[in-house]
Structure 1
Amino acid sequence: MTKPIVVSGAGPVGLTAATILSSKGIPVIVLEKENQPSKEWRASTFHAGTLELLEEVGIAQSLVPKGIIADKVQYRDRQTGLYAEFDFNLIKDETNYPYRLQCPQSTYVKMLKEEFLDPADNVELLFNSELTSLEQDKDSVTIKVQTPEGERVIETPYLLAADGARSTTRKLLDYDFTGYTLEEKFLLVGTPANFHDYIPDIAYVNYVSDPEQFLFLLKVPGAWRLLFPVPSNMTDEEATSEENVQKQLQKALKTDDQFEVIEQMIYRVHQRVAEKFYKGRVVLMGDAAHVNSPMGGLGLNSGVHDAVDITRRIERIINEDNESTIQEELETYSDVRRKVALEYVKLISEKNTRLMKEKEPELRVQMQKDMHEEATNEDLARKWILRSSLISSVREQGIGKPPAFYIK
């Protein structure tokens, strides 16, 4: 095969796929409608299961020094304080990464481009270039791309689409994106202030329950982040106003101090999954295939797993050069990754959300008690950590395994 594989979208998922393909000697063209790789910074957690997969091509080794190691995750109540803490050292004998790595996705994307893709001679990065149409037959996909120099027609063996929740590719395939959108919006605020000055025993990752307004507090290099819902009837301008942002930081940290704000972003939260993750030789990855609540730090990670899975399959398809292999591999990718999106990612994020926003007092207390018991029982805590870190999904569902692996 001499023609490059096209990857649409220069975010973390698309660039992961491009990096892996390039490392295997497979030529790649990356399309990005903006003038540079995605600078979005809202996702910031890399789980152990993800780092294990990225280790194989040297990505994890470059990424870990750029992040913060968070070996504990805390569940807190805004009024009563800490009620559960999971210590990731419980899995230190099962992985090289017994922690969550806290690192903004913008840092990850920048690293992939500068350290892996720019030096590669089999990668073409096309910025200010947007896919506008696609046609395919049994042998290839022909796409039209609007570039600064005009329209460009590209023929490719496979189109890997990581073009986000509003995916043009998914719409061109005419696939449903079923699910729901949460009523409230979310505001993410970053400050260089040290949250340990206000909550001395706080961990680097914290889920804070409150029936009126739950919180998510976490540390990334150079900042602490506060994520919280805002009412649907509040305008974006009101939510991001200096007065409201300071009020929310002060309320969360129980202080009258004023805070320097270095980043903020407001967005809607969705739980949606495409009806299928491929059609013909076009494959959906990441947010183009599934989006979910940030309560669990699973969206970025599951998208990276998509990229690892499909690139392993493409490498095998190329090596075997068998038409029947193509259909089997892509069908397996779609079935397995869709199952993970529904049975792991969706369930974990929804469980966290319910725990944090439950309004019925007795049920809220019971849920917190159950979480405490889970965290203090080593066997249960280990299972929780393996599942939340996506190690369990990799072990149980496999990543890029041949179709025969799934035949029971």
Structure 2
Amino acid sequence: MTKQFTADVLICGAGAAGLTLAIDLARRGVSFRLIEKMDGPFDGSRGKGIQPRTQEIFEDLGIIDRVVAAGGLYPPQREYRDDGGFIESGVAEQIDPTPAEPYHMALMIPQFLTEGVMRERLLELGQRVEFGRELVGLEQDQDGVTARLSGEAGEETIRVRYLVGADGGRSFVRHALDIGFQGKTLGVRAVVADVVLTGLDRSAWHRFNDGATERQISLCPLAGTELFQLQAPVPLEGEVDLSAEGLSAMIAERTGRSDIRIHSVHWASAYQMNARLADRYRDGRAFLIGDAAHIHPPTGGQGLNTSVQDAYNLGWKLAAFIGGASASLLDSYEQERRPVAASMLGLATKLLDAAKRGDMRRGREVHQLDIGYPGSALALENPGRLDGLVAGDRAPDAHLRGAAGQPTRLFELLRGPHWTLLGYRVKRGAMPARTGLHVHCIGPDDELIDESEHFRSAYTVSPGDLVLVRPDGYISAFVGSQKTDQLARFLDEQGVV
């Protein structure tokens, strides 16, 4: 007799990707288990940059204000010259917020604080991480996955509908599925460490010997903590002393200063930089997200952000398919996300080369606001658009006023697990009402008034246009109000009934 399902989904790995997926599934009422083989939370700063697109996702998940409060903005870079002087510059190009793009700068928050906020949100939703629980075997068939878990209490066999590997660059899930991990080792080995030190102020990211790869070292104050993050390339071979004494000696040798002293090491790692991409993101009922699917050099702050967005893309699709949507919805996960990771690998590698030369500058390309899925099977346009946004693009924010006089933002209307249909100067009766679909009319005599024309200009709409926004904040369809039959068929396929 077939074993009963323990849960709909088993998520292996409770880093940022696994936690994002868990939060998204929890708010959709999908049953899951989230396991992590480590005995407790990760306590390092590794992924410390939260890009603007990820901030938009965190707003939707209900944690953006907590993340901002726990972290802060990047300080200026202070590049020291050999004569002891220095030059200060911004870490990234200064870009002002707009109504369409409310988040404009990367946040700095150590990864352990980000994940702490996410675990807190998960608890609010009635779920928690199972630490000290490891996947040690899996078998799948056409109906589900049988997984063997190991932990302090012994071994357990469970049955789930789907398995998601969020278990890092050495992913057990990826190896068990025999999925190739193509790419290369980049010939750079580095140390990253979170330390308590004296001798440097916290108003700048201190950088020494930029342009001299073998002697580079940087010390960045970690927002929300008393720690500094030390980053330094090291020889490809040999042991690296990661003690307070060893790292203090490295600082003295590379900076020529004896006043910078490390008093304790909170966390440290020596690692080889790699750029690798999984051959495929899905095998039957098993999926890969995050570092299990792609690993990047840390330059540009792309890794954690790309991982969060993998999970955000997959979560609503799993929930919809479990609820009866077309099987093609799950196929779209790899079709949409794998090309994004390939592009991010190229960007991060290019920025690493720039960092070796000492001239790395981060511009809009790292913000991930321009990522979209215009070629996706989930992008519907009728008629085709000649300018402006197209189906598959990120849905911009916009300032609006409710008919009752109160200001609101479009993102507030999009927030949550639902689909959203926006009609520009369209009467409500012309728009379909469905479970899981929030319908809003925008016009001078409608429920929402576009006083400053932020919506019209951001979306390039004309009277009679309908804009369908996916649960993950991307435009799924632009159609005219005379094409509601086509829109209805599309919504049927996505399980929006």
TM-score, normalised with respect to structure 2: 0.67
Matched residues, percent identical? 26
Q: Write the deviation string for residues 170-201 of structure 1: whole angstroms up to 9, x where unpaired.
A: 01110111111233421123344477649x7x
Q: Which position in structure 1 is the counterpart of 2:444?
A: none
Q: Which position in structure 2 is the counterpart of 1:223?
A: 227
Superposition misfits of 4+ residues, deviation over 6 angstroms: 204-207, 398-401
- Contact in 1 for aligned 2:212/2:356 (Cα 8 Å): yes
Q: Which position in structure 1 is the counterpart of 2:214?
A: 212
Paired positions, count: 373
Deviation at 1:217, TM superposition (A): 4.2
Equivalent-residue separation in structure 2 for 1:91 and 1:154 (angstroms): 50
Q: Which position in structure 1 is the counterpart of 2:350?
A: 351
Is the aligned partner of 1:18 residue 2:19? no
Q: Which position in structure 1 is the counterpart of 2:448?
A: none
Equivalent-residue separation in structure 2 for 1:305 and 1:21 (angstroms): 14
Is the aligned partner of 1:159 residue 2:163? yes
Call closer, same or farther: CA 1:190–1:129 in 2, change over 3 Å: closer
Is the aligned partner of 1:106 residue 2:109? no
Q: Which position in structure 1 is the counterpart of 2:122?
A: 117
Pick aligned residue for 1:392 from 362, 370, 373: 370
Equivalent-residue separation in structure 2 for 1:272 and 1:182 (angstroms): 10
- Contact in 2 for aligned 1:14/1:162 (Cα 8 Å): yes
Pick aligned residue for 1:274 from 278, 285, 290: 278
Pick aligned residue for 2:237 from 214, 220, 233: 233
- Contact in 2 for aligned 1:32/1:128 (Cα 8 Å): yes
Higher radius of gyration, 1 or 2: 2
Call closer, same or farther: CA 1:250–1:279 in 2, change over 3 Å: same
Deviation at 1:244, TM superposition (A): 4.2
Q: Which position in structure 1 is the counterpart of 2:248?
A: 246
Equivalent-residue separation in structure 1 for 2:264 and 2:375 (angstroms): 40
Q: Which position in structure 2 is the counterpart of 1:334?
A: 334
Equivalent-residue separation in structure 2 for 1:289 and 1:87 (angstroms): 27
Amino acid at match of 1:117: L
Q: Which position in structure 1 is the counterpart of 2:481?
A: none
Corresponding residue SS for 2:275: strand
Call closer, same or farther: CA 1:205–1:68 in 2, change over 3 Å: farther
Structure with bigger helix share is: 1
Q: Which position in structure 1 is the counterpart of 2:103?
A: 97
Deviation at 1:91, TM superposition (A): 3.5
Deviation at 1:245, TM superposition (A): 1.5
Q: Write the deviation string for residues 223-271 of structure 1: whole angstroms up to 9, x where unpaired.
A: 22221110012313xx425554123323565522141343332222211
Call closer, same or farther: CA 1:53–1:280 in 2, change over 3 Å: same
**Structure 1 residues without counterparts, runs of 5 or longer:** 359-363, 376-383
- Contact in 1 for aligned 2:52/2:104 (Cα 8 Å): yes
Amino acid at match of 2:349: E
Pick aligned residue for 1:168 from 164, 168, 172: 172
Equivalent-residue separation in structure 1 for 2:64 and 2:207 (angstroms): 20
Q: Please, what is the CA RMSD of the aligned residues?
A: 3.2
Equivalent-residue separation in structure 2 for 1:270 and 1:56 (angstroms): 32
- Contact in 1 for aligned 2:195/2:264 (Cα 8 Å): yes
Q: Which position in structure 1 is the counterpart of 2:458?
A: none
In the TM superposition, what are the counterparts of 1:251-330 in structure 2 within 5 Å?
255-259=257-261, 260-263=263-266, 264-319=268-323, 321-322=324-325, 325-326=326-327, 328-330=328-330
Call closer, same or farther: CA 1:144–1:242 in 2, change over 3 Å: closer
Deviation at 1:204, TM superposition (A): 8.5
Deviation at 1:354, TM superposition (A): 0.9
Equivalent-residue separation in structure 1 for 2:377 and 2:68 (angstroms): 26
Deviation at 1:73, TM superposition (A): 6.2
Amino acid at match of 1:270: N
Q: Write the deviation string for residues 191-217 of structure 1: whole angstroms up to 9, x where unpaired.
A: 44477649x7x4589994334333444
Q: Write the deviation string for residues 125-145 of structure 1: whole angstroms up to 9, x where unpaired.
A: 432221122222233222121
Amino acid at match of 1:90: I
Equivalent-residue separation in structure 2 for 1:196 and 1:119 (angstroms): 39
- Contact in 2 for aligned 1:277/1:289 (Cα 8 Å): yes
Amino acid at match of 1:218: C
- Contact in 1 for aligned 2:313/2:333 (Cα 8 Å): yes
Call closer, same or farther: CA 1:402–1:299 in 2, change over 3 Å: same
Corresponding residue SS for 2:189: strand
Call closer, same or farther: CA 1:216–1:48 in 2, change over 3 Å: farther
Amino acid at match of 1:339: P
Per mean C-alpha deviation after superposition, the further-off stretch among 185-194 and 329-338 is: 185-194
Amino acid at match of 1:337: R
TM-score, normalised with respect to structure 1: 0.80
Is the aligned partner of 1:28 residue 2:4? no
